[in-house]
Amino acid sequence: AQTVTQSQPEMSVQEAETVTLSCTYDTSESDYYLFWYKQPPSRQMILVIRQEAYKQQNATENRFSVNFQKAAKSFSLKISDSQLGDAAMYFCAYRSGQGAQKLVFGQGTRLTINP
Amino acid sequence: DAGVTQSPTHLIKTRGQQVTLRCSPKSGHDTVSWYQQALGQGPQFIFQYYEEEERQRGNFPDRFSGHQFPNYSSELNVNALLLGDSALYLCASSLNIGRTDQETQYFGPGTRLLVL
């Protein structure tokens, strides 16, 4: 079974600075997808960024980028120019490339932005 | 473009009761997945419905059941509620077009269930 581990329960960063959230996963599959979701206090899970395992290039979405290290099974999220609205729980998630679309989530990292 | 909607937003039940939660998928989506998120934890997959059939199920007892309607909306039913069923229940929808890289799940705001 696949597992996802987020080793940082909490992180904080000064507004406008850069922060990196860590995620590692365990799988024997070669075809899979990785995601970062953001969950603000409103509770709604919002997709931040996704990475296909077959792509060597790291995904980027505006201020959000990932460092995908397939051999190390590592998938970190970098947030540049942090904004107050980035404060939320961040979840790393794994989905197999085969079969149904079950997402396997990590425990989450609570990100605080200090003004 | 309507996103994923869930009802009710909050619910309080007592042990042993039954509950039904509802989900309407994002416009154009045909697949609905349900997740349970305990306080301070990541979501756990309950099951997924496609074409009105349960396609995959997580490690949850038979007390958890579901249904998908022809309009793709879905219900999650939980029987014989336990205190441990208190959680945020999230619904996610996606479009099954046979290409996994297109099948990103979009989440609703969730239903907060408290069992007393």
Rg of chain A over Cα atoms, rounded to whole angstroms, equals 14
Q: Would you put residue B52 in left (φ > 0), alpha (ψ -120 to 50) or beta?
A: left
Beta carbons within 10 angstroms of residue A55's beta carbon: 12
Place of tokens 């077959």: A54
Q: Are residues A4 and A95 in contact, defined by beta-carbon separation less than 8 angstroms?
A: no
Closest C-alpha to B6, from B20, B18, B23: B23
pLDDT digits (tens, 9 = 90+) for B18-57: 999 999 999 989 999 999 999 999 999 999 999 999 989 9
Residue B104: per-residue pLDDT? 84
* Burial (CB count within 10 angstroms: exposed 0-12, middle 13-18, buried 19+), residue A10: exposed
Residue B103: the pLDDT is 73
Percent of chain A past pLDDT 70, that is, above it, reads: 99
Q: How far is B114 from chain A (nearest CA, A)?
A: 16
Cβ–Cβ below 8 Å for B31 and A42: no
Return the higher-pLDDT residue of B114 and A97.
B114
CA distance B27 to chain A (A): 17
Find chain B residues with C-beta within 8 A of A108's C-beta. 40-42
Distance CA B36, CA B34 (A): 7
Between A37, A43, A93, which is nearest B109 by CB? A43
**Which pLDDT score is estimated for B101?**
56
Best of B50, B100, B113 to substitute, by most chain A Cβ atoms within 10 angstroms, is B100
Q: Per-residue pLDDT for B2 more than 80?
A: no
Å from A15 to nearest chain B CA?
Answer: 25
- Note whether B29 and B106 are within 8 A (CB): yes
Q: Which residue spans within chain A are E strands per DSSP?
A: 3-5, 10-14, 19-21, 24-26, 32-39, 46-52, 60-61, 64-69, 74-79, 88-96, 103-105, 109-114
Q: Quick one: average pLDDT of B73-89?
A: 97
pLDDT value of position B38? 95
User: For residue A106, how many other CB atoms are within 10 A of its CB?
Assistant: 25
**pLDDT score of A95:** 92
B interface with A, Cβ–Cβ below 8 Å: 31, 33, 35, 40-45, 48, 55-56, 58, 88, 90, 92, 94, 100-101, 103-110, 112
